[in-house]
Amino acid sequence: MTHADWFPLPASLAPMLAAPGSPPRGRLAEWAIEMKWDGVRALAFVSDGRLRLVSRTGKDITATYPELGSPAGPGGLAGLVGAAGREQLLLDGEIVAFADGRPDFEALQPRMHVSSPEAAMRLAQLIPVAYLAFDVLQLDGRPLIALPYSERRKILTTIIPNGPGRLSPPHFPGPDLDAVRAASVANGLEGVVAKRLDSPYEPGVRSGSWLKLKNVLRQEVVVAGWKPGKGNRTGLIGSLLVGVYSDGGQLLYAGHVGTGFSDETLRMLTRLVAPLRRPDSPFDGPVPAEYSRPAVWVEPRLVVEVTFDRWTRAGRMRAPAYQGLRDDKDPVDVVRET
């Protein structure tokens, strides 16, 4: 490659997103299947021996996960540059915390919201994370996003030497979809992602070339208000009033979340919503009076993830339970997943 053909890493890049759905049963041979990892999506920009981690919302989160930036550590992504003569690298993947050998989003929560370098280093010892790379987008000055997924995956396997803190998880043939999905259920994983073998990487696009199949109903929702707690929750949040955006950009009420919180989580969320108070409801539609009357309304800036039983005819989630705060997600991108 001549110097004229060399491309610097982009200053920013929006990750490609998966749409809900399942690949056509008669064309499974045209797809590959990956496990869906319950963590924080991050692009890893590596050059000059330095790592820059960028979240899905474009936030620099490098300092939050110092062990991934160490050139010498077992999980250090920076160490991949310089190995085998490589000079530059751009990866797409997921930052994951493991508990009992399985990804655990709850275990990752204390790591996600840390800005102090000292606190981040301390937590890195207590709750180490791994970077699971599932795509390579640029290598040594050569952009790869126009290549088909199958070729990018072949290149990725030559880059990532699996170790305690960095992995290139396997992908499986499309016809094995049912077996892979059953394995994901057995291992307590969130689901699987099907990817077309011939698909290029489409930055910022929620593409039909990537389809996600979840094992349980999970939904990202926007916090728009809260109901004050009673009893042992006095002075804290009793439940969250949450919504999703319509295709037209309206924030629609989707239910109230009152379970799944630890005492520590309730204190954390109470601190976060306090400065976001507003005098009126941010919802563009009605909220049942039993929740709207006592509600404390807030600016819709926080995103949380919940599990639930089903959607009702009224567009509400039945029995939602809190799973975690998603500060890696932009509220305006939160829509109902079918």
Q: What is the CATH number of the domain that holds 57?
A: 3.30.470.30
36 is catalytic: yes
132 in helix, strand or coil?
Answer: strand
Q: Is there a domain that residue 48 lies in?
A: yes
Which is the catalytic residue, given 36, 212, 214, 329? 36
Of 185, 203, 171, 183, the residue nearest 31 (C-alpha): 171
Domain that holds residue 327: 218-333
Q: Is there a domain that residue 320 lies in?
A: yes
Total Cβ atoms within 10 A of residue 198? 12
**Tens digit of pLDDT per residue, the chain (338 long)?**
556 688 999 999 999 999 989 999 999 999 999 999 989 999 999 998 899 999 998 999 999 999 998 765 556 788 788 766 788 999 999 999 988 888 888 889 889 878 899 999 999 999 999 999 999 999 999 999 999 999 999 999 888 866 555 678 889 999 999 999 999 988 888 899 999 999 999 999 999 999 999 888 889 999 999 999 988 899 999 999 999 999 999 999 999 999 999 999 999 999 999 999 999 999 998 999 989 999 999 999 999 999 998 888 889 998 899 999 998 889 999 999 87
Q: Residue 244 half-sphere exposure, CB side, CA atoms within 13 Å?
A: 19
In the listed set 215, 242, 275, which residue is the last one of a domain according to the structure?
Answer: 215
The three-point CA angle 43-19-102 to 5° equals 60
207 and 233 fall within a common domain: no
210 and 235 fall within a common domain: no
pTM over 0.85: no
The structural domain count of the chain equals: 3
305 and 239 fall within a common domain: yes
**Distance from C-alpha of 293 to C-alpha of 296, rounded to nearest angstrom:** 9
Q: Is there a domain that residue 322 lies in?
A: yes
Calculate the alpha carbon distances from 230 to 87, 227, 294, 295 in Å.
58, 10, 12, 13
